[in-house]
Chain A
């Protein structure tokens, strides 16, 4: 695989940078996760929805940390630190997501690590970058969403701010970290020089909003114009959005109102609506769709939409998604580990030369690889 000869020493925990290390592990890199003895990554004990594995592990930890090795090392112990120095000498990449200042205190900030290994690619994620009044604050997903305006994009106009329900700031900053680290490795392959790659969650979350935010900076409104009825992308013309039907919901990704009039067999159905004010107009169109879509079932509408080439789909929750032949065809699931440690999770979302990237290696128990790693690198 692409990164077969790459060794990553990963000091990070939670989700942001560990999700980046996971992606690079799936691309073939060897990831050694450095964890505090006795405690480890705090995610190990983060239980959600009261779901835990048979062996007591956190499902979230297993999802994020499969395909990695665990080295227990005390960053305050001189012995452990001198071993880490040996390890870093032979590494290609160092990752962390501590708050600014922590690595400086331990002696593993970029300046120090560069002395140990001049061609190192050193990647880090912070909440808000350095040198400003938020620098010392934790980079926490919901809080970053909240300060960057992101909570005003989803839902409808009458709703309070609606956060995105998946840790989007964490995952996007992790995505950008992979890009930065791999770009730096490309550069290193040409020049031999390493790099200091810095990602902060604030900038990652603004990049996601780039189009709308740029419009704002050029005189657009300070809030995205959320629709009144159907929760949707605030910048899309109607009928784009999610609607209730007689028995469920339907997603409508546009299609043109004239085509919809044909589908409804009601020519001129939207002609009386006042054009001019885009937001008002959208609300009126959405209101018509709200009324009409509830008359029939989702299945009925999907069949009709197909006939008229209108872009629609059902709105699935997990149980229904899992039963769908389309989902099964994706082969999105993979088993990692064995025995009582065996769990089902998702695979890497890509095909390279027709092959999915899969791995059966589970998340390590704390310090599982310590002895082997010490033997190999001392």
Chain B
């Protein structure tokens, strides 16, 4: 096991889901992660449930009692990295006192905070940041990602910059202040869409039929079959039709694949219902087409890939050290 951060101490101070993800990764990379969850004793108790056990894996929970200021000072003295939500600590004073410390400050709205007084929330960052118009199909409500993508990205991005800062600190000896926000993480995540939008000035519209990515052509999407669902990635229509053998699809040229994508996808939708998953996937395999079954977790854990990988630890492997 390679534990690159085994000499590093991280203090996760206060309550932030983004910081929670960051602390988790630092712990996986070998750091000593001290967590003060910023709530009362009942909250500490609740951290023992499964959700919290998952998010606090490998962290040491610390309590700050009556002599809170002194205890915090003691924790800060030991720490190389401080993760905290904006507004909880006097960051400037603290940085003067601990000039080698790498301080990460998390907020919801970054420099937009003067204009956007909304709560610090993953869902709101998705909604304000345009993300809910990427998911679901055209006639659906704006659809958020079903998991907290802003929290996850923001926390994981902070790990990237802290690692960079740790490298730089080995030479300079100095710490730094790293500021991230849910909204900037959400916008960065959509950088392909946004760059396209800046040129076209047109909102990329979700496909009306089985949208999977608003800027991609047919057949890209998830389709129902006689007994389940399959996902079809990008591929030329003619190539797809070698597997589908669908008469109606012959009427469309490759140049129609974006402009007439809903029409094309409707035809594919209807056609695929006639046979089960296995039939279509076997044909795809023979023709080396990019298709996979849509699985739930029960199906997933029975696959060979899952069993061999057993992916419940850190998603980063140092193969030379395994």
Interface residues of A (CB under 8 A from B): 1-3, 15, 23, 27-28, 48-51, 53, 59-60, 62-64, 110, 128-129, 131-135, 137-138, 140-143, 145-149, 151-155, 159-168, 171-173, 175-176, 178-180, 182-187, 189-190, 194-200, 202-204, 206-218, 222-224, 226, 230-234, 236, 240-244, 249, 251-254, 306, 311-319, 321, 324-327, 329-333, 343-346, 348-354
Q: Would B51 and A2 count as touching, CB distance under 8 A?
A: no
What residues on A are CB-neighbors of B230 within 8 Å? 146
- Residue from the list A27, A50, A145, A213 in contact with B161, Cβ < 8 A: A27
Inter-chain contact B147/A206, CB cutoff 8 Å = no
On chain A, the residues within 8 Å of B110 by CB distance are 330, 351
| New A-B contacts (20) at CB < 8 Å, excluding given A147-B303, A164-B135, A231-B140 | A142-B212, A142-B233, A151-B231, A151-B294, A154-B145, A161-B294, A166-B190, A168-B189, A172-B152, A186-B167, A197-B318, A198-B316, A198-B318, A211-B54, A222-B297, A233-B147, A251-B123, A253-B124, A313-B118, A350-B157
With A165-B211, A352-B177: A154-B136 Cβ-Cβ less than 8 Å: yes
Given contacts A165-B211, A232-B123, contact A195 B134 (CB under 8 A): no
Q: In this assembly, does B321 line the interface, its C-beta being within 8 Å of a C-beta of chain A? A: yes
Contact B233 A140 (CB under 8 A): yes
Pair A179/B198 contact, Cβ less than 8 Å: no
Q: A165: which B residues are within 8 A, CB to CB?
A: 134-136, 206, 211-214
How many residue pairs, one in A and one in B, have C-beta atoms under 8 Å apart?
A: 447
Residues of B within 8 A of A327 (CB): 112
Give A43 to B121 CA distance when docked, in angstroms.
Answer: 34
Cβ–Cβ contact A231 & B136, under 8 A: yes
Determine if B250 is an interface residue (Cβ-Cβ < 8 Å).
no
Are B163 and A146 within 8 A (Cβ)? no
- Give the distance in Å from the alpha carbon of A82 to the alpha carbon of B195 in the complex: 37
In the bound assembly, the distance between CA atoms of A69 and B273 in angstroms comes to: 48
Q: Can you list 7 A-B contacts (CB < 8 A)?
A: A2-B161, A49-B202, A51-B199, A53-B199, A128-B305, A165-B134, A354-B177
Q: How far is the CA of A170 from the CA of B309 in the complex (A)?
A: 19
The answer, among B157, B233, B297, B321, for a CB contact under 8 Å with A143, is B233
Question: Do A60 and B146 contact each other (CB < 8 Å), given the known contacts A179-B163, A253-B124?
Answer: no
Query: Which residues of B pack against A, CB within 8 Å?
Result: 2, 4-5, 7, 25, 29, 50-51, 54-55, 109-112, 114-119, 121-124, 126-136, 140-149, 152-153, 156-157, 159-161, 163-168, 170, 176-181, 183-185, 187-204, 206, 210-216, 220-222, 224, 229-233, 258-259, 290-301, 303-309, 311-312, 314-321
Task: Identify which of A110, A244, A316, A353 contacts B141 (C-beta below 8 A).
Answer: A244
The verdict on A176 contacting B164 (CB below 8 Å), with A146-B293, A148-B295 known, is no
Chain B residues closer than 8 Å to A202, beta-carbon distance = 305-306, 309, 311
Measured between alpha carbons, how far is A367 from B130 in the docked complex, in Å?
36
Which of A23, A147, A202 has the largest number of chain B CB atoms within 10 A?
Answer: A147
Do B130 and A316 have beta carbons less than 8 Å apart?
Answer: yes
Provide the residues of chain A in CB contact with B295, threshold 8 Å.
146-149
5 closest A-B pairs by beta carbon, nearest first, are A153-B146, A2-B164, A165-B134, A311-B119, A251-B127
Q: What is the chain B residue whose CB lies nearest that of A354? A: B177
A59 with B195: CB separation less than 8 A: yes
Complexed CA–CA distance, A128 and B201 (Å): 37
Interface of chain B, helix or strand or loop or mixed?
Answer: mixed
Closest beta carbon of chain B to A109's beta carbon, Å = 11
Contact at B128–A316, with CB atoms within 8 Å? yes
Q: Decide if B203 touches A2 in the complex (CB within 8 Å).
A: no
With A182-B164, A186-B167, A211-B55 as given contacts, are A48 and B308 in contact (CB-CB < 8 Å)?
Answer: no
Given contacts A313-B118, A351-B179, contact A251 B305 (CB under 8 A): no
In the bound complex, do residue B165 and residue A2 qualify as a contact, i.e. CB atoms below 8 Å apart? yes
Q: Which residue of A lies closest to B195 (CB)?
A: A63
- Inside 8 A of B231's CB, which chain A residues have their CB? 142-143, 145-146, 151, 163
User: Which one of B128, B290, B293, B312 has the highest number of Cβ atoms from chain A below 10 Å of its Cβ?
Assistant: B128
* A334 → chain B closest CB, angstroms: 10
User: How far apart are the CA atoms of A292 and B144 in the complex, in Å?
Assistant: 21
Instruction: Assess A3 versus B292: contact at CB under 8 Å? Given A163-B212, A231-B144, A332-B187.
Output: no
Q: How far is A213 from B51 in the complex, measured between Cα atoms in Å? A: 10
Contact between chains at B215 and A48 (CB < 8 Å): yes
Q: Given the complex of chains A and B, what is the CA–CA distance between A269 and B111 in angstroms?
A: 38
Known: A48-B215, A182-B163. A226 touches B143 (CB 8 A): no
* B320: contacting residue among A110, A135, A175, A329, CB under 8 A: A110
Are A179 and B159 in touch, CB under 8 angstroms?
A: yes
With contacts A316-B128, A318-B194 taken as known, whether A324 is within 8 angstroms of B294 at the C-beta atoms is no
**Residues on A with beta carbons closer than 8 Å to the beta carbon of B122:** 233, 253
Take A232-B123, A251-B124, A331-B111 as given contacts and tell me if A311 and B118 are in contact as well, using a CB distance cutoff of 8 Å: yes
Known: A147-B295, A349-B180, A352-B161. A253 touches B308 (CB 8 A): no
